[in-house]
Amino acid sequence: MKRTIGALQAILAAMLALALIACSTPTSEKPAGGGDDTSNNNTGGSNNNTGGVTATPDPADAQYLFKSDGSAADISNAFDLWSSGTTFIEDFTADTTYDNAVKITSGTGWSIDAACVAFTAFNPGKLAEYTTLRFKVKTTDFSSISVKVPDAEKAYTLSSAGVISDGWVQFSVPLSDFMGAAKFWPAYVSQFAIIAYGTGSVLVTDVCLSGDTGTVTVEALSAEIANATGLNNAHAVGTADGNVSQDAKNALEAAIAAAQVLADTPPATQAGVTAELTTLITAENAFSAEIISFAPTAGADAPTLDASAVISLHTSSNTYTNISGITWNPGWGQAGTLTDFDISGTVVKKLDLKSNGSATYQGVDFGGARDITNKLHLHISYLTFNGTNLAVSPISVGQEYPIDVGTINADGNWHELSLDIDSTKVDITGIIQIKFTATSDQIYFLDNLYFY
């Protein structure tokens, strides 16, 4: 349940990006690796760099996200391609005018041709501190460049940009172009993109923000205070699943209170809001890292028996082919559930045993009789944090054979069970179900269920 600042910022941006381009939604996909390119492929088409005015130097207050001299950025950020399929070179050095640029070449990840580079993972609130986004581009393949700040996008023609030299032009984009319906969005999003639609390549350099807005807005901080308050209220102090320590709760509540003071009495500059917003997000991350999670982080180790020796019900490793027709959560009047639990693509089973007032059990229906002759052992990998006792019952028509599994190890690690099935207690030629039973509410994660 831990959220990093970058991950939370991506979540915040995604929540606001409801009107993203029809072909794609921004993701946190890492860009392709960089490396010097020894040739400039911008040779197709005519030279569209016909800006009508001479470019002006970047102002003294400019804060850079990417610099043509190759030095470190003033504003920490990360590149992203927004799943566009763009071919990306981070440190293109073959241009004769600027020592360092990014080169983007069209891909078809959005089912259309487009070249995209996004600047992401800067602090939420950073855009609201400035009036203008400035950047230089060079291309012979496109006549316009689009800028997208979720959830708004606008195109700008190269002919409207300031002329530099050797095909380079300077864009100076008012951030007010992207205000949209939610007037406070610049204080919330943490990404924007430079996009060219069509086929070709673009060089981009000297990406910076400049200009003091002269105003202070706290709406985004107020929205984050609401998020933090909701997070705090959702997790009680204790040692159960989903609980937090008293120290963690005290720390988040103190951060919320400090943020509320600033929201009620705004600082002199927007930078003060940005700093407080970052502080609050950091406190939320620390709180989230302390939330107790009764869940595995990986499946059990893959089994090693030969497939011919096994009748498999489920393995997260897909080592065996499972029998078909299984119903994992049949309606037997039980209060609990037995469901899939996905661990980053690895699927185990979550057995949530709850009392229905008279019993605590959960069944599994095989969808027909299974002959387990010569496979009279039931293997189960289990992981639990609160389990105390468990019985597993193979069932045939008119017969149920409960097997007490013995001592339960509730240390949150995977453990193995091998249960012997007595052929005198149940019809081993016609097993139709198994049932899990406990004496109290308990949660188990299950993997590698098979007869052998």
For residues 433 and 136, give the distance between their C-alpha atoms in angstroms, rounded to a whole number: 68
Give the pLDDT band of residue 185 (cuts 50, 70, 90): low
pLDDT at 223 over 70: yes
Give the pLDDT band of residue 190 (cuts 50, 70, 90): confident
Geometric angle at alpha carbon 388, from 382 and 393, rounded to 5°:
60
pLDDT at 237 over 70: yes
For residues 21 and 375, give the distance between their C-alpha atoms in angstroms, rounded to a whole number: 56
Per cent of the chain over pLDDT 90 is: 70
- Look over the chain and give the mean of its residue pLDDT values, rounded to a whole number: 86
A 10 A CB-CB count for 67 gives 18
Residue 232's contacts (CB-CB under 8 Å, 6 or more residues apart) are: 249, 252, 253, 256, 287
- Rounded to an integer, the average pLDDT of 225-254 is 93
pLDDT at 33 over 80: no
Give the pLDDT band of residue 53 (cuts 50, 70, 90): confident
Q: Please name the residue that has the structure tokens 């996009």.
A: 195
Topology adopted by domain 307-451: Jelly Rolls (2.60.120)
Say which residue, 257 or 44, is predicted with more confidence.
257
User: Does the N-terminal peptide bond of residue 141 adopt cis geometry, omega within 30 degrees of 0?
Assistant: no
pLDDT at 34 over 70: no
CATH class, range 219-289:
mainly alpha
pLDDT of residue 39: 31
CATH class, range 5-212:
mainly beta
Let me know: does 92 contact 35? Beta carbons within 8 Å: no
Torsional sign, CA 339, 387, 383, 399: negative
pLDDT at 24 over 50: no
All structural domains of the chain with their residue ranges? 5-212, 219-289, 307-451
Say if 5-212 and 307-451 have the same CATH topology. Answer: yes
- Rounded to an integer, the average pLDDT of 275-289 is 92
- Rounded to an integer, the average pLDDT of 176-181 is 72
pLDDT at 200 over 60: yes
Residue 345's contacts (CB-CB under 8 Å, 6 or more residues apart) are: none
